[in-house]
Amino acid sequence: MKFLFVVTGSYVNMYASAPLATAVRNAGHEVILATTNEPMMDAAREMGIPAISMMSETIRSFLPADPSDDEERDTGHGLARMAVQGLESLLEITAGWRPDVVVGSAVSYMAGLLATRLGVPYVRYVEYLRIPLAGIDSGAEEGLLPELRRMGLTGLPEPAMYIDVCPPSLRRTPAPPAQQRMRFLPKTPQRALEPWMFTRPKGRRRVLITSGTHFRMLTPDAMRHLVDQLVLTGAEVLIAAPKKTAEELGDQLGDVRIGWLPLDVVIPTCDLVVHHCGATTGMTMMSAGVPQLIVPAPNPHNRAIAEAVSGFGAAIVMLPEELAKEENPAEAIAAGCREILADPRYTERAQALGNEMAALPAPAEVVRELETLVG
């Protein structure tokens, strides 16, 4: 069988889609992954998945530069414009390679349009939790209304299967029809491993700090203070950072391991992670069953994920605007870290969440369900 994966967003969406696409290939099927911009091709090559870039513009060029108060609806309108343009590219791609199934990431609306045009099953893959789909779907449906009418549809195409990696305990809306739960498997960039990466330090706690590639939680001085406070507790400190940040901070932080780390390998060895709650980062922490201190990046999705995890009892959340009011923001974060390390309930709740995610069907099991969609 032939499976076309359509992934909209950034490289993190590519990483989230990779486990399922890889499982489909490992089951003996043909896979092509269509991305919405050229930079995502690097991530596809890293994952070893055959891929094609179908658009020259990046996703940001389709989103409103100055969104209104109804940001989700505006985002949906932008994604609708992307879907119309992307559909033409997808039709050219599939003219000579007709898929049996089209799998689209959560906001890849062109995937549903393509599957409808081709008359093949459409699968919607929601790769993270708490994506505000209701508002985005509404805006996309408005923007796509002329195209939908031409296809004889009154609304967005309904998926034959709705794959969702959200842990049941964190779901805030009723399960949609045709839902198929799936276990989230972390897929992150790798580097040559060293034994310390996959083994716990003897007699010490381990704390990982990561602020992502695009959002830095703390200034260098504040980071140094936080590290010093964590070291005073007896913890070993790791900092996951891109090369440029590692070079800026490396000489200032003393005996700290800093650099690009394979998070899926390192996180299970940690007792606490301090992070910004990017979608991939947050899901990786949850799947590893590690408690978290979250300083969420200033966007609704990151905050929604942070609220879900803290509401479950597996994290403490500190909002950037609240930290800005503190005389010493780094000390406030350090105090939160000490609380988590001293109270075993955070670890217990984090492990309960990780166990819940581990019990969901693995991608290989979901592939068998996908195969049934084609008679």
Going by pLDDT thresholds of 50, 70 and 90, the confidence category of residue 113 is: very high
pLDDT at 102: 98
Q: Kind of pairing, strands 2-7 and 30-35?
A: parallel
**Which one of 3.40.718.10, 3.40.50.2000, 3.30.360.10, 3.40.50.10440 gives the CATH number of domain 2-184+360-371?**
3.40.50.2000
Backbone angle region of 326, left / alpha / beta, with phi > 0 → left and psi within -120 to 50 → alpha = beta
* Of 288, 278, 241, the residue nearest 260 (C-alpha): 241
Going by pLDDT thresholds of 50, 70 and 90, the confidence category of residue 54 is: confident
- In the block, which residue shows the tokens 């581990």? 358
Question: In CATH, which superfamily holds the domain spanning 195-358?
Answer: Glycogen Phosphorylase B; (3.40.50.2000)
* Of 198, 199, 165, 200, the residue nearest 180 (C-alpha): 165
- Name, of 12-16, 57-61, 318-322, 346-350, the range with top average pLDDT: 346-350
Taking the domains of the chain in order of start, what are their residue ranges?
A: 2-184+360-371, 195-358
Which neighbouring-strand residues pair with 51?
A: 33
Q: What string of H, E and C letters represents the secondary structure of 67-128?
A: CCCCHHHHHHHHHHHHHHHHHHHHHHHHHCCCCCEEEEECCCHHHHHHHHHHCCCEEEEECC
Going by pLDDT thresholds of 50, 70 and 90, the confidence category of residue 59 is: low
Amino acid at 57: E
CA 2 – CA 241 distance, rounded (Å) = 38
pLDDT at 132: 82
Q: How far is CA 283 from the centre of its chain?
A: 7
- State mean pLDDT over 3-21: 89
The answer to whether domain 2-184+360-371 and domain 195-358 are alike in fold is yes
Q: Which residue has the higher pLDDT, 249 or 128?
A: 128
- In the block, which residue shows the tokens 């508002």? 135
Going by pLDDT thresholds of 50, 70 and 90, the confidence category of residue 43 is: confident
Burial status of residue 179 (CB atoms within 10 A of its CB: 0-12, 13-18, 19 or more): middle
CA 194 – CA 198 distance, rounded (Å) = 8
Q: Give the model confidence (pLDDT) of 185-237 as tens digits.
A: 998 878 889 999 999 999 999 999 986 555 567 777 888 899 999 999 999 99
Going by pLDDT thresholds of 50, 70 and 90, the confidence category of residue 15 is: confident
Q: Give the model confidence (pLDDT) of 321-372 as tens digits.
A: 999 899 899 999 999 999 999 999 999 999 999 999 999 999 999 999 999 9
> How much is the pTM?
0.90
pLDDT at 212: 56
